[in-house]
Amino acid sequence: MPFISVPDNYQFSSMLERALFDPGYKITERFLKEAALYLKERGRLIIGWGDSENNDFGNQDKLKYLAEQYHFSIKLLVQEQSTEQNPVIFQLYELKRILEECRIFRRE
């Protein structure tokens, strides 16, 4: 999933840019909006993300906001600090549908 935000009118110059850049986080938003149509009842999403101290690389607050907007709980599974010159934290998140969790809880 691309996780680096760029302006809505950004013009891609390569396939690599398409893999990394998400204009206005519209790709992420569409993915989360439509994901529930494809998940089984207790299905979950595993999303790879990247973050940096200044949010220039990826913005985890925006990911959390979109997850909540489309009724997903979000849990950080693992994160790893890169060893590159400009530090990046790579993360894996688990997302579950909140509505399904509520229904399962009521059955118990």
Range of the structural domain that residue 51 is part of: 4-107
Structure tokens at 78: 């693992």
Q: What pLDDT is attached to residue 57? A: 80
Sequential pLDDT tens for the chain (108 residues): 898 889 999 999 999 999 999 999 999 999 999 998 999 888 999 999 988 776 678 888 999 999 999 999 999 999 998 877 777 889 999 999 986 545 544 444
Q: Check which CATH number belongs to the domain holding 16 and give it.
A: 3.40.50.150
Q: What pLDDT is attached to residue 55? A: 60
Q: What pLDDT is attached to residue 44? A: 95
Q: What pLDDT is attached to residue 108? A: 45
d(CA 43, CA 38): 9
Alpha-carbon distance values, 19 to 28, 75, 96, 98, 103 (Å): 12, 23, 24, 28, 36
**Domain count along the chain:** 1
d(CA 80, CA 52): 12
Q: What pLDDT is attached to residue 70? A: 94
